[in-house]
Chain A
Amino acid sequence: MTTVNVSTVTHTHTYVATNLMRSVKSLIEEAGLDPRHFAGSWDTWEGAIAHWIDQQGLKELTLEVYDLSDSYDDLRGRFDFTINYAYGGDGEFWVDPSIIEFAVRKSGSLPSACRYRLVATVTRFASDPPFGHWTSATLRSTDGYQRHTVGHAVAAGSTAAGLSYYRRVS
């Protein structure tokens, strides 16, 4: 039935959006960073993520961790949630919180005074959400870092979010 299919797709989007938010919150807390900055924009980000996923427009959600006291190279860590819209799972909805802890542990320790920002990479056909103020951003260079993929953090039907972390190698 078409109705069931449409509502099923909508539900996967809301499930992934809210649980991506929970995963980012968990990541920030596991890394020993202050979650207040992120929590203060929860409504805006959750709505935006759901909006973009609905368009299949969200490619990646990146948490950049940086140290402002370093004016030359302030990146200290980075975590990517990469969205897969053709996830070949069993159709179930699930979250794996253990993957967050694993990724943070493997990425190395982060100074608690670090700041962070969330950056969404979207496709060229994705439209801005109808709320919030959105501007372009450039991700920091990851020269000297190596990317490692640890698995999927959230999945719902055919939509899943894989998690990667960056670890400094030089």
Chain B
Amino acid sequence: MTTHVRRFASIPARTSAQTWRAVLDVVDPPPEARKRLEAATNAAAISIAEEVTATDPIVFVGCGPQLRIYTVHGEDSLNGIHVNERPVPGLALNTGWKLYIPPGDDADLLASLVDGNQVVVIGSPAVAESDGLSTGNRISRVRSFDLAALKQP
């Protein structure tokens, strides 16, 4: 199985919900799938806002290649460092696919937000780490940074 990894610029380049919408724009799902994914916006946005997705990916399975999505925060999101938002070839969200949203400390809360959404699961797929692929994902958990430094030549 092929696995693709994408890293989306998030706070402060985008708000948490804007980040999720950017993901949907790249994934470009058909209308029925988009409806279900948009219904998960609050849950996905909270996971992104809490920076859970900086280290634990949002995962699409059952849609051709597996797609893992991380978010980039802080200065890196503004500089585009480690950001990769390219379209994913061969992705097909038709039938049998699922979206996994990592909950961090908010499992019960996020589960309540997607209750009834049959394609969204709060948690991680059981075999997410079994493909031997090293993501090399760098954590951008910068709680404090100096934006003025970006202006220096």
Residues of A within 8 A of B (CB): 1, 4, 7-8, 11-12, 14-15, 17-19, 21-22, 25, 35-36, 39-43, 46-47, 50, 90-95, 156-157
Contact = CB atoms under 8 A, between A and B. Distances in A.
Nearest to A7: B78
Interface of B: 11-18, 41-42, 45-46, 49-50, 74, 78, 109, 112-113, 143-148, 150-151
Contacts of A35: 109
A17 B113 contact: no
28 contacts: A7-B78, A8-B147, A12-B12, A14-B12, A14-B14, A14-B15, A14-B18, A15-B12, A18-B11, A18-B49, A25-B46, A35-B109, A39-B112, A42-B17, A42-B46, A43-B17, A43-B42, A46-B45, A47-B15, A91-B146, A92-B144, A92-B145, A92-B146, A93-B144, A93-B145, A94-B144, A156-B12, A156-B147
Contacts of A15: 11-12
- Secondary structure dominating the interface of A: helix
A17 B143 CA distance: 15
B17 A22 contact: no
Sorted nearest first, the 3 A-B pairs with minimum C-beta distance are: A15-B12, A11-B12, A94-B144
Contact of A36 (B12, B50, B112): B112
A40 B11 contact: no
Contacts of B18: 14
Contact of A11 (B13, B109, B151): B13
A150 B41 CA distance: 33
A40 B40 CA distance: 10
A50 B15 contact: yes
Given A46-B17, A92-B145, A14 B11 contact: yes
